A and B are shown apart, each in its own frame.
Chain A
Amino acid sequence: MTAQTRPAEEAERAERPPEGGRARRALRAVASANAVTLTVLAVVLALVLGAILIVLGNDRVLAEYGYFFAQPGTTLGDSWQIVTDAYGNLFRGAVFDPSALSGAIAGTNSWNLVFYPISETLTYTAPLIFTGLSVALAFRSGLFNIGGHGQVIFGCIGGALVGFALPLPPVLHLIAALLGAAVGGGLIGMIAGVLKARTGAHEVIVTIMLNNIAFWFLQWIITKPGVHNPARSDAISKDVLGSARLPGLGSGLRADLGVVLGVLAAAAVAWLLNRSTEGFELRAVGLNPDAARTAGMSVGRAYILAMTTAGALAGLGGGVIVLGPAVHLTGAVAGTVGFDGITVALLGRGKPWGVVASALLFGALHAGGNRMQQSSHVAIDLVTVVQAVIVIFIAAPALVTAIFRLRATRGVSASLAKGW
């Protein structure tokens, strides 16, 4: 087959419906590297790798492997047992615990316990949706926002300051505190956007640096009078007033309005990207800044808009943390949600609803990981490994095809593989 005939043949093949019956067509769809198949395979592979780590991380079973050939059955059986026990608890902590349901029916425990795992999952999902959307929005505009961590921190600070220092009537106070969080994150995001637009400073470096600056700023501000809780000797801020806290979704459960706000934010970002003029410009700049400039769009303005919005979204994620489960600022209030937002956005492929789905998955992994740590004594860091491995598996094939397709048309594109 010569190079000249190939495109024609391919086009012909694409137009032809796949051969065979419906079942075979469905099978072929699964076998081809589409998004869902790829994601499921990546998750399965990551969990298999996690299982190997569980065995490696168990001192007792690891010792059994020292004399594996003396009693292979026991060794393998024990390995199987600790892995199933750990993953069983992961599931029970994230989704649903059968014993809680039977207990609730028998009347030995409350119905709250049945919904407890789901509530925990949603609690961890809420900030991840926001940080994931933040990274995804920047991605679509051709920017890589690693500054989620710093933006979350400033969101936490903004939300908490309004939350405890500005007494307002109930509903208004919550709105004001969320605005404070968005402004805090938005301002720090804007710095990166302005520097990128004005001087060409790479947003990756600037946002990494801003993360660390934000971290030290947080360590400083929580010990200052007016912010520090005078009743405590450790570095902790005052509690957010009750009027600024997110209302819970059920009594005795931690899940709150945050996750609903997250879904609304996803809808808003989806609208912004797909239906608005600004969103069109952002995507155009993300795909090809030169073409966008030629078409009369202001690339610099798009960068500033994208980073400010991304920062505000991550800041809202911080607000959801501090006005929800955290209640006050501590040195580690932001946790790792800022960085997790990157993996969430990558797994969600930069699409708002994909971000919601992957945030739900990672939130579930986190909630289940807590249970796994308590009941099976398997450290929650396993969840971090699983997340990273999932994203690596996702990133490689997806980006390979993307880059190859782009190469065929206009060389290695700046939006996917760019330098400093």
Chain B
Amino acid sequence: MTTLTVYDTPRAKPATGFWTRDRKAGAVFLVLGVLATVLFTGLARSGAGARFVWGVSSVGAGLSIPAKAGAAIFGVVCALCGAALLTGRAERWLRWLAGLALVTLVLSFLCWQVAGQAMPLGSMAQATVKAALPLVFGALCGVLCERSAVINVAIEGQLLTGAFMAALVGTVAASAWAGLVAAALGGVFIALLLAVLAIRYLVDQVVLGVVLNVLALGLTGFLFTQLMQQHGDKYNFPPTFPAWHIPGLASIPIIGPALFQSNIFGYLAIVLVIVVHFALFHTRWGLRTRAVGEHPTAADTVGINVRGTRYRNVLLGGVIAGIGGASLTIGDVGSFTNNMTNGRGFIALAALIFGRWSPIGATMAALLFGFTTALAGYLPLVGSTIPSEFLNMLPYAATIVAVAGLVGRVRAPAADGQPYVKG
């Protein structure tokens, strides 16, 4: 996360001293686990059970856990995972133990919160995926741009332009498919500005991204107020994509409704994550992209067109982010509202960093952030005492913790943000 050049980071630097990455994570989880055990068990209503229902409604088959015992057990498991990591012997299991610790921590929390109530896991998963969808598209756009060393802070603007264009063109052409194409073009428009100004005119990419966000916000806001607000049926009434149920798969408990009852955007996201992951790590294009992002001079020496690769990736990212924006309008509510992305592009950026610039990691981070959104929507319904505002802060706080290297350090592609000038 620093401005080190490639020469400053020779190999994977071995962690020095006692406080290695897994020990730090272990200490954090140990403390959190103990806190959870004490706090959540103490606060949970005694005698009440927390009921987790598999389906989308709060009645039906499910699992009842005694709230106090559940909060205690899950808290202890979390603490044990932390302790195991703290010993420093479980380094190779870091990923699994950290994941288990996180899940049990959340479960312990839920046992306390859901006590005496029911939580429909199916609809929670659905809400999670729905909230994560634009983030996944945005983060994939970020992966393409930043792996080839163009910082993209304009994801927010691309999502917004995509959402707007989908609604506008979808309405005028009376076709959701036309809206989808227009959304991709809208994303490409912002991406083109980013690419030309960053790659050709060498403008600072972070500054540029911020200004492009302002531009997108102003353009869409202006045309929204002028055209859509006054003539809604003429400009802001696009057809939406229907949901496609996949027979069999759609009735899987919990994940069925979330993954296999969605519309085209849900399936597109799944396909794109797999394709981008495979392409990035298993194809010639991916190798070149990563080479350009890590060491453009070396890439140029072996004959890779550095600028061309960057242009292509940034524009491709624009297509993906534009489609992600469309998922908010023609994939969901069916109309555009001013500033409707509302910072999702920045969370996508956070997911990208949290997921360490990898497609799968970014998707996982997006789902994690989507889950906190779903939780923030659900908890007030069961009369939680936790203010939903604080749950909404979670993704941002988690990202700060991640970039500050408090739990492991994240490292951007080495040449990220540096324009390439031949010579």
**Of all chain B residues, which has the CB nearest A191?**
B400
Set of chain A residues within 8 Å of B223, measured between Cβ atoms = 53, 56-57
A107 → chain B closest CB, angstroms: 38
User: For residues 198 through 216 of chain A, which have their beta carbon under 8 Å from a beta carbon of chain B?
Assistant: 199-202, 204-206, 208-210, 212-213, 216
Whether B393 and A213, one on each chain, are in contact in the complex, defined by CB atoms closer than 8 angstroms, is: yes
Indicate whether A270 reaches chain B with its CB closer than 8 angstroms. no
B20 → chain A closest CB, angstroms: 16
Indicate whether A16 reaches chain B with its CB closer than 8 angstroms. no
User: For residues 406 through 420 of chain A, which have their beta carbon under 8 Å from a beta carbon of chain B?
Assistant: 407, 412, 414, 416-420
Whether A199 and B416, one on each chain, are in contact in the complex, defined by CB atoms closer than 8 angstroms, is: no
Contact stretch, chosen from B81-89, B95-103, B175-183, B402-410: B402-410
Report if A210-B207 is in contact (Cβ < 8 Å); known contacts: A200-B405, A392-B197: no
A82 → chain B closest CB, angstroms: 11
Whether A212 and B203, one on each chain, are in contact in the complex, defined by CB atoms closer than 8 angstroms, is: no
Indicate whether B151 reaches chain A with its CB closer than 8 angstroms. yes
Indicate whether A124 reaches chain B with its CB closer than 8 angstroms. no
Whether B210 and A419, one on each chain, are in contact in the complex, defined by CB atoms closer than 8 angstroms, is: no
Report if A342-B210 is in contact (Cβ < 8 Å); known contacts: A210-B396, A385-B218: yes
Whether A379 and B203, one on each chain, are in contact in the complex, defined by CB atoms closer than 8 angstroms, is: no
In the complex, what distance in Å separates the CA atom of A407 from the CA atom of B413?
22
In the complex, what distance in Å separates the CA atom of A391 from the CA atom of B151?
19
**Of all chain B residues, which has the CB nearest A404?**
B202
Set of chain B residues within 8 Å of A295, measured between Cβ atoms = none
B interface size (C-beta, 8 A): 63
Whether B219 and A209, one on each chain, are in contact in the complex, defined by CB atoms closer than 8 angstroms, is: no
A interface size (C-beta, 8 A): 56
In the complex, what distance in Å separates the CA atom of A127 from the CA atom of B327?
37
Whether B412 and A206, one on each chain, are in contact in the complex, defined by CB atoms closer than 8 angstroms, is: no
Residue of A206, A212, A392 near B215 (CB, 8 A) is A392
In the complex, what distance in Å separates the CA atom of A416 from the CA atom of B218?
26
Indicate whether B315 reaches chain A with its CB closer than 8 angstroms. no
**Of all chain A residues, which has the CB nearest B234?**
A59
Indicate whether A343 reaches chain B with its CB closer than 8 angstroms. yes
Set of chain A residues within 8 Å of B419, measured between Cβ atoms = 403, 412, 417
Indicate whether B19 reaches chain A with its CB closer than 8 angstroms. no
Interface centre among B202, B224, B406, B416 (most CB of A within 10 A): B202
Report if A414-B218 is in contact (Cβ < 8 Å); known contacts: A199-B404, A205-B350, A212-B396: no
Contact stretch, chosen from A96-104, A319-327, A394-402: A394-402
In the complex, what distance in Å separates the CA atom of A420 from the CA atom of B409?
13
Set of chain A residues within 8 Å of B301, measured between Cβ atoms = none
Whether A346 and B207, one on each chain, are in contact in the complex, defined by CB atoms closer than 8 angstroms, is: yes
Indicate whether B221 reaches chain A with its CB closer than 8 angstroms. yes
Set of chain B residues within 8 Å of A213, measured between Cβ atoms = 393, 396-397
Set of chain A residues within 8 Å of B387, measured between Cβ atoms = 220
A216 → chain B closest CB, angstroms: 4
Whether A388 and B218, one on each chain, are in contact in the complex, defined by CB atoms closer than 8 angstroms, is: yes
Indicate whether A195 reaches chain B with its CB closer than 8 angstroms. yes
Set of chain A residues within 8 Å of B349, measured between Cβ atoms = 205, 208
A321 → chain B closest CB, angstroms: 19
Indicate whether A381 reaches chain B with its CB closer than 8 angstroms. yes
Indicate whether A110 reaches chain B with its CB closer than 8 angstroms. no
Set of chain B residues within 8 Å of A420, measured between Cβ atoms = 1, 151, 353, 412, 416-417
Whether A379 and B214, one on each chain, are in contact in the complex, defined by CB atoms closer than 8 angstroms, is: no
Indicate whether B129 reaches chain A with its CB closer than 8 angstroms. no
**Of all chain A residues, which has the CB nearest B156?**
A208
Indicate whether B254 reaches chain A with its CB closer than 8 angstroms. no
5 contacts between A and B (CB under 8 A): A199-B405, A205-B349, A385-B218, A392-B211, A419-B412
Interface residues of B (CB under 8 A from A): 1-3, 149, 151, 153, 193, 197, 201-208, 210-212, 214-215, 217-219, 221-227, 230-231, 234, 338, 343, 346-347, 349-350, 353, 387, 389-390, 392-393, 396-397, 399-400, 403-406, 412-419, 421
- 3 closest A-B pairs by CB: A384-B218, A57-B226, A379-B225
What would 9 more interface pairs be, CB under 8 Å, given A217-B393, A385-B215, A417-B204? A146-B210, A208-B350, A216-B392, A379-B222, A379-B226, A391-B211, A414-B3, A418-B418, A420-B1
